[in-house]
Chains A and B, each alone.
Chain A
Amino acid sequence: MSKPKILIDCDPGHDDLVAILFAAKHLDLVGVTTVHGNNTLENTTRNGLISLELGKLDDVPLAKGCAEPLAQVQLEVAAGHGKSGLDGAEVPEPARKPIDQHAVDFIIAMAEKHKEELILATIGPETNIAMALKREPRLKRWLREITVMGGSTTTGNFTPAAEFNIACDVEAAWTVFESGVPLRMVGLNITRVTGFDEADIARLRASRKRAAAVIADLMEFYLGRTRAAYGLKVATMHDVCAVIPYVYPDLITYLHTSARIETAGAYTRGMTVCDLRHPSGSAAPLLRNRTEPNALVAVDVKSRELIDKVLDTLIEYD
């Protein structure tokens, strides 16, 4: 059987870089598209190209996407990734350029080319995906699945209720979550506790590989930031969690249920309202205010095993 095909829409970002390198080793990475979010589109595009060059992924095209959210005010850049969006390592400016096609058109073209086969990973704000779904109504039938890093079943990070990727473009997230495409959502409840500590970074360095050394520098910076800014214990590997299930299906546990985007709300705009009541069994029909399941929502993770698999993969790069 051939490898699953995946397209990653992202805003690199330290953890985005890891997600790209992890996906490229295990899956058929048909392309990378960039979007505003962790940093400006210019910087996330540059950082996407750096990620591809670091992994010598010369055959993976990169298309530049939307610089702004659909409707709302643009949020400030994320604190965790530094000024460039990928601070912490000395890396040369990328020699490669993005392809001429816009990300929205590229997503549609790839989905049409790989009908019912393509997994679309959205690990930044969902602006490009929402635009593509509106631009090409058939896209929702062409996609195999959309895998989302975003939201939370518990606490957010941008606000108490909302996670940053969703908060960056709430209307886009709503569009994606209501699209009818099979969704897989991994949120902060999982990713907040899944990341690299000092020992993991030391393991990257000890490999004496060129790419791993650069990644170690990046992660050291990122670990410092996630601790200082967010009070977290690890350099959170949010984005790779959206890719993991296609390689190691047993590391994250999902619940098939309803996950909806709150677009109103004085305190809750951008929240992923997930129904963690009892969606299966005889009890379900008695539950009130139930909506149709639209997503596999991640509810449990084997963090240590997951991170070890990611490290194993990163060390494979020269």
Chain B
Amino acid sequence: MTKFLIDCDPGHDDAIAILYAAYHLDVVGITTVFGNQTVEKTTYNTLRVLTLAGLDIPVARGCGRPIIGAAPLGDDAHGKTGLDGVDLPEPDRAPVGAHAVDFIIETAQAHRGALQLVAIGAQTNVALALRREPRLAGWLAGISIMGGTAGVGSLKPMACVNVLSDPEAAHIVFSSGVPIRWIGYETTRTVLMTLDDIARLRTGGRVARMMAEIAAWYRERQLAVNGIDGAPMHDSCTLAPFIRPGLIRYEPVPLAVELAEGLARGMTIVDRRPIPPGTRLSSVTPKAPANVEMAVAVDRPALIRDIVDTLLTY
């Protein structure tokens, strides 16, 4: 049976994704990384979420900085703590001793061919693990990624935080040869938990009510910063293909990360030109081979309903 390891930076939508995953899937570990906030804060938030839900999943703390340069944090969307708007319990546990990079490698080795990595923060840990252990790419069953965009952006006009946070890491991961499922911000920003959904969560138990507060704060902030009326479930989208296959439709595409310094640094460039295969023309650069399965359509109501239903079972 497939095991899952979530590399994340909670983060409001990360918190909900962890609970969504843990109920349905065999989550064998969580690793933390900077992104929505510093790695200290995202680790603390992960531990608090697991404590709240009483989930016994090992947490390994990872990288606090990108491979190169400085990291823009996504704190405009998640606040000072990275998980503003809710009073979660203090953690009743600590991270494991191993660094996230080692933990990813060890877990993949223990579950060779059966581990799905879910990368929903900056991809620094995953990239360093791929470099540290060249066999890792062969051990992984796949990586499901939220980050980047094939359209509108978040922190930049056409770029999104998880890839902008560490473009070099994203390049390493996307070019690793591991089978990749990818969903971009242009799609996840439309998968919204609405006020009605939040009201439904408020009718649930303690965990669901806490998640309602998280979603409510996140919605308010999204409305103020991005003009989006709803809490986008960016990160849970990466889990849908394993929990409810069929809710997201994927298509193979070539994807490259722009690393050069310029307006477009940190952009994910997806080749969706409809040029017929085998076309060789001087005025059209050739299409590279597909390296990711890109999410192109989502059954939004069904996915949101499933997330809310799941949170209500806690």
List A residues at the B interface (Cβ < 8 Å): 75-80, 153-161, 164, 228-232, 258, 260-268, 271, 273-278, 281-283, 286-290
Q: How far is the CA of A154 from the CA of B269 in the complex (A)?
A: 10
Contact at A273–B227, with CB atoms within 8 Å?
A: no
Minimum CB distance partner of A161 in chain B: B269
B-side interface residues, number (CB < 8 Å): 41
Q: A158-B283, A158-B284, A277-B226 are in contact. Are A231 and B263 (CB under 8 A)?
A: no
In whole angstroms, what is the CA distance A231 to B66 when docked?
39
How far is A153 from B258 in the complex, measured between Cα atoms in Å?
Answer: 17
Of the residues A155, A273, A287, contact of B273 by C-beta under 8 Å: A155
How many angstroms from the CA of A127 to the CA of B7 in the assembled complex? Answer: 48
List, in ascending order, chain B residues with CB within 8 A of A275's CB.
157-158
| Chain B neighbourhood of A277, CB < 8 A | 152-154, 157, 226-227
Stretch at the interface among B12-20, B117-125, B204-212, B274-282: B274-282
CB-CB nearest in chain B for A271: B264
B56 within 8 A of A: no
CB <8 Å contact, A157 and B284: yes
Assess whether B269 is in contact with A160, with CB atoms less than 8 Å apart.
yes
B264 contacts A78, CB within 8 Å?
A: no
Pick the contact of A278: B76, B226, B279, B283 (CB < 8 A). B226
Output the nearest chain B residue to A259 by Cβ-Cβ distance. Answer: B157
Nearest Cβ on chain A to B294's Cβ, whole angstroms: 12
In the complex, the answer to whether A161 meets B157 with C-beta atoms within 8 Å is no
The CA-CA distance from A26 to B72 in the complex, in Å, is: 50
Question: What is the CB-to-nearest-CB distance from A291 to chain B, in angstroms, rounded to a whole number?
Answer: 8
In the complex, what distance in Å separates the CA atom of A283 from the CA atom of B221? 10
A-chain residues with CB within 8 Å of residue B1 when the two chains form the complex: none
User: For the complex, what is the distance from the CA of A293 to the CA of B263, rounded to whole Å?
Assistant: 15
Pick the contact of A289 from B150, B156, B276, B281 — CB < 8 Å? B156
Distance in Å from the Cβ of A297 to the closest Cβ of chain B? 11
Partner of B263, one of A78, A79, A230, A273: A273
Main secondary structure of the interface of A (DSSP, over half): loop
Contacts A156-B273, A266-B259, A277-B152 aside, 8 further interface pairs with beta carbons under 8 A come to: A75-B283, A77-B282, A154-B151, A160-B285, A271-B264, A274-B157, A289-B155, A289-B157
Cβ of B262 and Cβ of A268 under 8 Å apart? yes
B258: A residues at CB distance < 8 A = 265-268
| Contact yes or no, A265 B274, CB < 8 A | no
- Whether a CB of chain A sits under 8 angstroms from the CB of B132 is no
Residue numbers in A under 8 Å from B287 (CB-CB): 160
> Is B86 in contact with chain A by the CB < 8 A criterion?
no
Question: Is the pair A288, B155 in contact by a Cβ cutoff of 8 Å?
Answer: yes
Q: Complex Cα distance A291/B64, Å?
A: 29
Distance in angstroms between the alpha carbons of A268 and B156 in the assembled complex: 15
Assuming the contacts A278-B226, A289-B155, A289-B157, asked whether A229 and B281 have C-beta atoms less than 8 A apart, the reply is yes
Of A79, A267, A287, the residue contacting B256 (CB under 8 A) is: A267
Show 20 A/B contacts (Cβ-Cβ < 8 Å), sorted by A: A79-B281, A80-B283, A154-B150, A154-B272, A160-B269, A161-B269, A228-B279, A258-B157, A263-B262, A264-B263, A266-B258, A267-B258, A268-B260, A274-B157, A276-B158, A277-B157, A283-B224, A288-B155, A289-B155, A290-B157
Bound-complex Cα distance A78 to B281 (A)? 9
Query: Chain B 11-44 against A: per-residue CB contact (8 Å), 1 yes, 0 no?
Result: 0000000000000000000000000000000000
